[in-house]
Every structure is written in structure tokens, then in C-alpha cells.
């Protein structure tokens, strides 16, 4: 007997937004020597966070605070907001699920760029929404004008944009974001995924306006703070939007140690700044590597750089060659972005080892 699945679930195909490096290692039967495909931080944790987590391990038998009170209070002070404008969730991935559930009914249109963050698409499909994809520009950046036009044409409930962008690393300035908001159709909510915001010029980010109920901004502790495995993200929105999320979010989803780690990370801005400087230096190293090998790279304001192999076939072959050399990197799955191989900025030691293996793989590709 087939279980009585919901009508929405019965129509959803089996899918996985990302195949994790662990799954690839199990298939291969051996570990990677370099893990540079998931945009994790290679720079570890702040010493303050390590100490706080070690001290708190004795309390893991206790449930976490479902209101995330201390963490939201610290975030509010840092951002100059009120705690009522903040929601905490299981990384941006978890918050995207809450947002889609809150706004999308089966059959509703949702607009995103073709090749953008696949976990967002996963949630939209899972809740019965209809995705409309907008191609990236010829320069491999999000097309603000086309995104808005698609949202207006399809009477979209949500418009999703990551800025700085994953997987290209491109960045739209505040004028482009303002353009989207000025032309956003009535009844549409703009999701601004700022997972990589710390790597962008801080004076180049759009100003915070929590009075505007049309915008939800998302940020994470996974990148500069090195807490990807602890799953902590937060959303910034109007108070009424946050109150709506409180009706449906997973209240015990962000564990006790995760909350303590994130709250402590806020207290160590020097460590965060150091990571940002290291990543900026590493991006230049990758760009120099590309120039020395006649491989173009995309300008990036994230913690990764995309190498352009001109065709999807060459990029797929390069991915295989790097895997054979025990290096985990990624390639976008949608053309024309599938011609890129995206590489996380590692430590100086990791970058040197990567460069050697990358050159060797390129010789095999030639």
C-alpha cells in the first residue's frame, strides 16, 4: 500500500540540492585531501568561540532557548535594529523553507536566476510553487531588470536574489537593488540573500530598512565565522513578518551550542576582519593563478572564485580530473554557468597545494 502522501508531495520529484563531499568520498572509497567546493571557511573558529563552546558542553543535555533571546539581542545591537526585526534559523537553508512556506501556495509563481542557489528551488518545489528562471547576463551577473520584469509578468509571490551572488561571486550595487524595489510588483516579497555580505564593501551594501515589509534579508554565521556545521542563520525583516514566521518556524531547530557559538562570534569582530582580509588576499592569488594559466576568472566579492573553462564539457572534465587528484571543487549545474569551476579560498597552504594540483590537472585536460 502506498502511504497517503499529500497532493503536493506526490508531485515532487526525488531531488537533492547538493551532493555533499562526504557522499562523494563514500563513492570513491577515500577522503579528499583538499575540500574547496562548499564555500566553507578554511580559517577555523575564533579562539573565543572555541573556549565558549568547550565551556558549554556540559549543558548539552538541556534544550536550547527557542526564542534565541541572547543571540537576537546581540545581533540587534550590532545591526542597530530591534530584536523583533530578527528571526534565527537553521542556516539560511532553514529560513528559506520558512519563507516559502509562509508566502507560497501551490501553483504560485516564484522568480529566481537560472543557476542560482538550488536549495531555494528545492523549497519552492517542495511546497508546490512554480519556478520561473531568468538567465544571468552575458557578464555572468544577476539581471535586475529581467528579474523584475519576470516577477511583474508572472505576478510572482517571491523574487529571490543572492548578493554577492552564489555561484558567480558577482555583486549588484545599492542602485540596482533600489531599482528592483521601485519596480517590484504588488504582492511580491523580495528575498535578498546576503550570505556573503561580510566579503563585500560594507559601504556598498543597501541600507537597512526594516519598515519595508516587501524585503527579507538573510545572513549567516557559516562563512566568516566558520560555523557552517552548526547551522545558524538569521533573517532581517519587518516586525509583522517576523511575527508571522514565529507561527511556523522550528523553535528548537538551532541547538544550544550553536546559539552560544554564534553569540560569542559577534563579540570577536577582529577575528572576522582577519578572515575577510585573508579571503581577499586569497582571491587575488587565484586570479593570478588563472592569468598565469590563461584561464579567466570572474570578479568575486565572496569567499570563492569561479574559473572559466569556456564550455560545460571542459569544466566537467576538469572537475573529474580534480577529483582524481583528491580535490573537492564544484561546478554549477545549469548552462551557461556550467562552464565554471568554483573554488573556495583556502588557507595559504591550501592555496599552494591547490595551485600545484590545478596545474597538473590542466596539463591532463590539454
pLDDT (average), residues 106-133: 97
**What range does the domain containing 172 cover?**
47-267
pLDDT digit string (tens) for 254-266? Answer: 999 999 999 999 9
Identify the pLDDT of residue 15: 78
Q: Using the 3D structure, point to which of 232, 267, 302 is the last residue of a domain.
A: 267
- Strand ranges inside 3-147, DSSP E: 34-35, 86-89, 109-113, 130-134
Q: Give the 3-state secondary structure of residue 117.
A: coil
234, 252, 267 - which closes a domain:
267
- For residues 180 and 144, what is the distance between their CA atoms, to the nearest angstrom? 6
What would the pLDDT profile of 223-250 be if each residue is shown by its tens digit? 999 999 999 999 999 999 999 999 999 9
Residue 359 lies in a domain: yes
Q: Give domain status of residue 314, yes or no.
A: yes
By residue count, the chain amounts to 366
Q: Is residue 216 included in any domain, yes or no? A: yes
Q: Residue 29: is it exposed, middle or buried by C-beta count within 10 angstroms (0-12/13-18/19+)?
A: exposed
248 burial type by CB count under 10 A (0-12 exposed, 13-18 middle, 19+ buried)? exposed
| 252 pLDDT above the threshold of 90 | yes
Q: 12: pLDDT confidence band, cut at 50, 70 and 90?
A: confident
Confidence of residue 10 (pLDDT cuts 50, 70, 90): confident
Mean pLDDT of 347-364: 98
Residues 161 and 292 grouped into a single domain: no
Q: What is the DSSP string of 258-282?
A: HHHHHHHHHT-HHHHHHHHHHHHHH
- Does one domain contain both 80 and 33? no
Query: Do the domain assignments include residue 287?
Result: yes
Share of the chain above pLDDT 70, in %: 100
Whether residues 118 and 93 fall in one domain:
yes
Asked if 65 and 158 sit in the same domain, the reply is yes
pLDDT at 7 over 90: no
Check whether residue 139 and residue 230 sit in a common domain.
Answer: yes
Q: How far apart are alpha carbons 365 and 307 in whole angstroms?
A: 14
For residues 198 and 253, membership in a common domain is answered with: yes
Distances (CA, A) of 240 to 137, 214, 246: 35, 11, 10
What pTM was computed for the model? 0.95
- Shared domain for 191 and 117, answered yes or no, is yes
With CA atoms as reference, report the closest residue to 68 among 90, 40, 87.
87
**Tell me, what CATH number does 341's domain have?**
3.90.1150.10
Q: Is residue 273 within 8 Å of 82, Cβ to Cβ?
A: no
| Helix (H) or strand (E) segment spanning residue 328 | strand 327-328
pLDDT of residue 366: 87
Q: Is residue 283 part of a domain?
A: yes
2 pLDDT band (50/70/90 cuts)? confident
Helix axes 348-365, 269-292, angle to 10 degrees: 20
CA distance 198 to 279: 11
- Average predicted confidence (pLDDT) for the chain: 96
Q: Which of 251, 267, 283 is the last residue of a domain?
A: 267
Range 294-301 average pLDDT: 97
Shared domain for 228 and 151, answered yes or no, is: yes
Q: CATH number of the domain at 62, please.
A: 3.40.640.10
Residue 1 lies in a domain: no
Number of domains in the chain: 2
Quick check: 225 and 41 in contact, CB under 8 A? yes
> For 59, which DSSP code?
G
| pLDDT for 14 | 85
Same domain, 247 and 320: no
Distance CA 64, CA 365 (A): 50
Residue 168 and residue 315 share a domain = no
SS3 (DSSP) at 196: coil
pLDDT band at residue 104, thresholds of 50, 70 and 90?
A: very high
Q: Is the same domain home to 213 and 357?
A: no
Closest CA to 358 of 34, 69, 24, 115: 34
Report the pLDDT value the prediction gives residue 203, as an integer from 0 to 100: 87
Q: What is the pLDDT, as a whole number, of residue 332? A: 94
Answer whether residue 285 is part of any domain.
yes
Residue 228 resides in a domain: yes
- Taking 90 as the threshold, does the pLDDT of residue 27 lie above it? yes
Q: Which residue has the cell 516559502?
A: 100
**What pLDDT score was predicted for residue 1?**
78
Q: Find all residues with CB under 8 Å of 215, minimum gap 6, and list them.
A: 181, 189, 190, 192, 209, 237
Which tens digit of pLDDT belongs to each residue from 316-354?
999 999 999 999 999 998 999 999 999 999 999 999 999
Cβ atoms of 88 and 245 within 8 Å: the answer is no
102 and 26 share a domain? Answer: no
Amino acid at each position: 500500500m502506498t502511504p497517503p502522501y499529500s497532493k503536493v508531495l506526490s508531485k515532487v520529484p526525488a531531488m537533492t540540492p547538493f551532493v555533499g563531499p562526504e557522499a562523494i568520498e563514500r563513492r570513491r572509497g577515500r577522503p579528499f585531501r583538499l575540500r574547496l567546493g562548499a564555500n566553507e571557511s578554511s580559517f577555523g573558529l575564533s579562539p573565543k568561540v572555541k573556549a565558549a563552546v568547550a565551556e558549554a558542553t556540559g549543558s548539552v543535555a538541556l534544550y536550547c532557548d527557542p526564542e534565541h533571546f541572547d543571540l537576537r539581542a546581540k545581533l540587534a545591537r550590532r545591526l542597530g535594529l530591534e530584536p523583533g526585526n530578527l528571526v534565527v534559523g537553521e542556516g539560511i537553508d532553514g529560513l528559506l523553507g520558512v519563507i516559502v512556506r509562509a508566502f507560497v501556495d501551490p501553483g504560485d509563481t516564484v522568480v529566481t536566476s537560472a543557476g542560482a542557489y538550488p536549495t531555494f528551488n528545492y523549497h519552492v518545489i517542495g511546497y508546490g510553487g512554480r519556478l520561473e528562471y531568468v538567465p544571468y547576463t552575458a557578464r555572468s551577473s544577476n539581471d535586475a531588470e529581467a528579474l523584475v520584469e519576470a516577477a511583474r509578468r508572472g505576478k510572482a509571490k517571491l523574487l529571490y536574489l543572492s548578493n554577492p551572488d552564489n555561484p558567480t561571486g558577482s555583486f549588484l550595487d545599492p542602485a540596482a537593488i533600489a531599482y528592483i524595489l521601485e519596480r517590484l510588483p504588488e504582492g511580491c516579497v523580495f528575498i535578498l540573500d546576503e550570505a556573503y555580505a561580510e566579503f563585500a564593501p560594507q559601504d556598498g551594501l543597501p541600507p537597512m530598512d526594516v519598515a519595508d515589509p516587501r524585503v527579507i534579508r538573510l545572513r549567516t554565521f557559516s562563512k566568516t565565522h566558520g560555523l557552517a556545521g552548526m547551522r545558524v542563520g538569521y533573517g532581517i525583516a519587518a516586525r509583522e513578518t517576523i511575527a508571522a514566521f514565529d507561527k511556523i518556524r522550528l523553535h528548537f531547530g538551532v541547538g544550544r551550542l550553536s546559539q552560544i557559538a554564534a553569540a560569542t562570534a559577534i563579540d570577536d569582530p577582529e577575528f572576522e576582519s582577519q578572515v575577510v582580509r585573508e579571503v581577499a588576499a586569497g582571491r587575488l592569488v587565484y586570479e593570478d593563478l588563472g592569468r598565469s594559466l590563461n584561464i579567466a576568472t570572474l570578479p568575486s566579492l565572496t569567499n570563492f572564485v569561479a574559473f572559466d573553462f569556456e564550455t560545460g564539457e571542459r569544466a566537467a572534465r576538469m572537475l573529474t580530473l580534480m577529483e582524481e587528484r583528491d580535490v573537492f571543487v564544484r561546478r554549477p549545474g545549469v548552462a551557461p554557468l556550467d562552464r565554471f569551476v568554483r573554488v573556495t579560498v583556502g588557507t595559504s597552504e591550501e592555496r599552494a597545494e591547490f595551485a600545484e594540483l590545478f596545474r597538473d590537472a590542466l596539463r591532463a585536460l590539454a
